[in-house]
Amino acid sequence: MVILQNIINNVPMNDSGIDYCELSIAFLTILHAIALLISAVTFIKWFRRAYYNLDTQIETRFEDVWCVWSWFAPIINIFRPYQIMKELYVETNELLVEDIGTYTPSNTAYVILWWILWVVTLVVGNISYEWEAKAQTAEHILMSTQLDIFSTALWICLSILTIKVIGDYAKMEQLLYQMNIKAEEN
C-alpha cells in the first residue's frame, strides 16, 4: 500500500521496489490459494462424514453426497450447506436431550452467524476481485487493495468461527458416541 500511496503522491520509485512488491503479492496469492484448497477439502470431508454419522442415528433430510455437491451447485449453494449444518446441530441436540435429560443443547446461533459470515465473505471477495480486474489508476488499485485486505480479514474471522462450529459439534458427536456405546452395553 505504501508503494501505491507513493505512486499517487508522485514520489519517485525504483523498479526493484515495485518488482519486489509484485513478487510478494504473487507469492502470498499462491499461498492463500493452497491454504484455501486444503481447508476446503478438509472441511468438506469432515462435513460429509459428520452428516453420514448422523444418518446412522436418524433419517436425515438429504443424502450425504449433498454435503459435497451443495457447495458447488448454483443456487443450492446459497442455502443447502446451511440447512445441512443446522440439521447436524438440531438433530444431534435432540438425540442428546432425549438420552441425557440434563444435557444443555448447543447454541445454533453460531451456525447462523457462520453462514451469514460465509455469504458476506464471498460477496466482498467477489467485489474485490471485480474491482481489481477493472482497476486502471493507482487510486483504484489502492481501493481494491484495501477491499482485498478487508476480505482477507473476513476470511480470518470466518476461519475462526468455522473452527468454533466444528469444535462445538465435535463435542456433541463425542457425547453421542458415548451414548451409543452405553446403549450397546445395556
Nearest to 105 by CA among 165, 57, 172: 172
- Summarize pLDDT for 111-158 with one digit per residue, the tens: 999 999 999 999 998 998 888 888 777 778 888 888 888 999 999 999
The residue that leads in pLDDT, 8 or 77, is 77
Q: Is the dihedral of CA 98, 103, 109, 110 positive or negative?
A: negative
pLDDT, the chain, mean: 87
pLDDT confidence of residue 4 = 58
Number of domains in the chain: 1
Query: Which of 18-27, 30-39, 54-63, 154-163 has the lowest average pLDDT?
Result: 18-27
Its pTM stands at 0.82
Which structural domain, as residue segments, surrounds residue 10?
2-185
The residue that leads in pLDDT, 56 or 15, is 56
Per-position b or e across 97-114, b if 16+ CB within 10 A of its CB = eeeeeeeeebebebbebb
Cα distances (angstroms) measured from residue 3 to each of 19, 136, 141, 150, 167: 11, 16, 11, 19, 41
Cβ–Cβ under 8 Å, residues 47 and 84? yes
Nearest to 169 by CA among 116, 101, 93, 100: 93
